[in-house]
Amino acid sequence: MRYEEREAEDNVSTVIQLVLLGFSDLPNLQGLLFGVFSIIYIIILTGNSLIIILTRLDPTLQKPMYFFLANFSSLEICSVSVTLPRILVNLWTQDRSISVLDCAAQMCFFLILGATECFLLAVMAYDRCVAICGPLHCPLVMTPKVCLQLAVGSWVSGIPVQTGQTRWIFSLHFCHLNETNHFFCDIPPILKLACGDTFAHAPSVCVAVLLVAAVPFILILASYSKIVCTILRLPTARRAKAFSTYSSHLLVVLLFFGSATITYLRPKSSHSAGTDRLLSLFYTVVTPTFNPMIDSLQNKGVIEALRKLLLKV
């Protein structure tokens, strides 16, 4: 454990290096975990990269839905690259130390990309709402310029809030205890290392979550409520097809927002290192692994484009 002693009015020792214990409680499984996470990382990179390539090369996929799918796949690659490489390095070298600056950078990028996912899922829901509720007006509403503006807005909207939140968290004092039973720098485990009672700061976290998660989630619910109402008015023969087209995206939404809500908004008294680690593992590793299969590779347009690409090869 390394500390930097600073003479301050409150006589507090400031930690300059943290230790991410991660999976150190499973010493006999380090090699197996490294192999499993390596395979998962390759699957996520390959699956999402394939979707990006298909949407760029196939002329039939030059539509708003596939443009946003490509953005979502790019986001998944970025998000998982913030956490998984650090996990792999820790498992391979058994050196679990991380500087406070690196920890802050990891948290900041993770939170910004998480906010981007919230907004992008809301944009995708809106696009699908326009497509099914007003198909004749869709080309006029979802123009390439509008799609680009919505995508850029999704990527940058969370930057001010999450940068400010990260700055606030790391402005706290971390005294003496510098080990956290987690595998990356997330808000709940890092706040546990702060000196004193952080209960007074909980509203700040809640406000940030409401801004970047609750508002997009409400917009998603509104979009899908309208979609469901429209589908129910369709002939029975077309309902099943319409529901199958949009249910995959709704499943991705529920997986992401469900796990994030449990992680950040459940009472502090119910927090435990094991539960936090399991939930974080779910939405940082498990969900991105299945998202390409759920939201993209079940799409008939993507499947057909993949088939044509394989035939050319």
Closest CA to 299 of 261, 252, 263: 252
Report the b/e string of 52-65 with b at 16+ CB within 10 A.
bebbeebeebebbb
pTM attached to this predicted model: 0.86
Write out the two tokens for 267.
Answer: 């009472």
Instruction: Specify which of 52-66, 109-123, 267-281 reaches the highest per-range mean pLDDT.
Output: 109-123
On the question of pLDDT at 221 being above 60, the answer is: yes
Strands 13-15 and 17-20 come out as unpaired
Q: Which residue has the higher pLDDT, 68 or 214?
A: 68
Length of the chain: 313
Could you tell me the CATH superfamily of domain 17-308?
Rhodopsin 7-helix transmembrane proteins (1.20.1070.10)
Determine the average pLDDT of the residues in 69-73: 92
Q: Are 125 and 224 in contact (CB under 8 A)?
A: yes
- Site of tokens 């390596």: 38
On the question of pLDDT at 51 being above 70, the answer is: yes
pLDDT on residue 272: 63
pLDDT on residue 12: 46
On the question of pLDDT at 172 being above 70, the answer is: yes
Q: Which residue has the higher pLDDT, 312 or 179?
A: 179
Paired residues of 15 in beta bridges? 3
Among 111-125, 133-147, 248-262, name the one with the lowest average pLDDT: 248-262
Which pLDDT band holds residue 296 (cuts at 50, 70, 90)? low
Report the b/e string of 15-46 with b at 16+ CB within 10 A.
bebbbbbbbbeeeeebeebbeebeebbeebee
